[in-house]
Amino acid sequence: MNSHPNVADKVLEILLIDDDLDRAAAFSSALDHSRYHVSHLVSSRTSLLREVDQLKPDIIVIDIESPDRDILESLSTLSSFNPKPVVMFCEQDDSQLINQSVQSGVSAYVVGDVQSARVRSILDAAVARFQQYQTLKQELNETKHKLESRRVIEKAKALLMNKKNMSEAKAFNTMRKMAMDSGQKMEQVASTLLSILNTLDEKE
């Protein structure tokens, strides 16, 4: 049974970056007859971003000791790139410990032994968790935006009440009418009002 039915049927593209050819082969064969398709890259270094751009992998797998890890982290830290889930190989001894750190971070997972059957389940979990994280992030952004827009509207309303001696209802209706007349959102009207009223204030 697959626990993530929504992504179960899709072929998922893996970009594997590893200079260790034996490990890369073991990793690929662990994924034979699975829904994962592996593209292997040796010593990507300067071309990694281009490869990510062209291949559009669903998941990236890399040695935690690779210098290229900083490039992958920048996919989620620099706004001009799209974040990707990242799974990292590391020494068996360290894998448990490091997992504690990276799991609570963005969307990275650590795998100690590439030949184990765990590889598939870790990849499944990483993809699922990443999607969940992206959804949460989007929801958070929407909520933040809603709060911010309500704040701007409240502020403009208060300013109208104060400066123009309007009742709360009158101020609100005035802004709503302006929004309807101009085909703008309430938030846009409110921020225009704020900047106009504040500019007038400065000139007085």
Report the candidate in 41, 55, 32 with the shortest Cα–Cα distance to residue 119. Answer: 32
Can residue 18 be called a binding residue for other proteins (CB under 8 A)?
Answer: no
- Give the count of beta carbons closer than 10 Å to the beta carbon of residue 26: 14
What long-range pairs does 187-190 form, CB within 8 A, spacing at least 24?
187/149, 187/152, 187/153, 189/156, 190/149, 190/152, 190/153, 190/155, 190/156, 190/157
Find the part of the chain contacting other proteins (CB under 8 A) among 9-17, 96-104, 125-133, 167-175: 96-104
- Is residue 145 a contact residue for other proteins (CB under 8 A)? no
Stretch that binds other proteins, among 22-30, 98-106, 120-128, 174-182 (CB under 8 A): 98-106
7, 12, 49, 194: residue in contact with other proteins (rule CB under 8 A): 49
For position 66 contacting other proteins by CB under 8 A, the verdict is yes
Which of 23, 40, 69, 155: binder of other proteins (CB under 8 A)? Answer: 69
Q: Does 83 bind other proteins (CB under 8 A)?
A: no
Give the max Cα distance, the chain.
Answer: 78
Q: Which is nearer to other proteins, 80 or 165 (CB)?
A: 80
Question: CB of 108: closest distance to other proteins in angstroms?
Answer: 8
Amino acid identity, position 45: R
Nearer to other proteins, 1 or 78 (CB): 78
* Closest by Cα among 198, 192, 119 to 153: 192
Say what angle helices 118-163 and 186-203 make with each other, to 10 degrees: 50
Helix, strand, coil abundance in the chain, percent, nearest 5: 60, 10, 25
Output the smallest distance, CB 68 to other proteins, in A.
6
User: Residues in contact with other proteins, total (CB under 8 A)?
Assistant: 29
Question: Which residues are at the interface with other proteins (CB under 8 A)?
Answer: 45-47, 49-50, 64-71, 73-74, 76-80, 94, 97-98, 100-102, 104-106
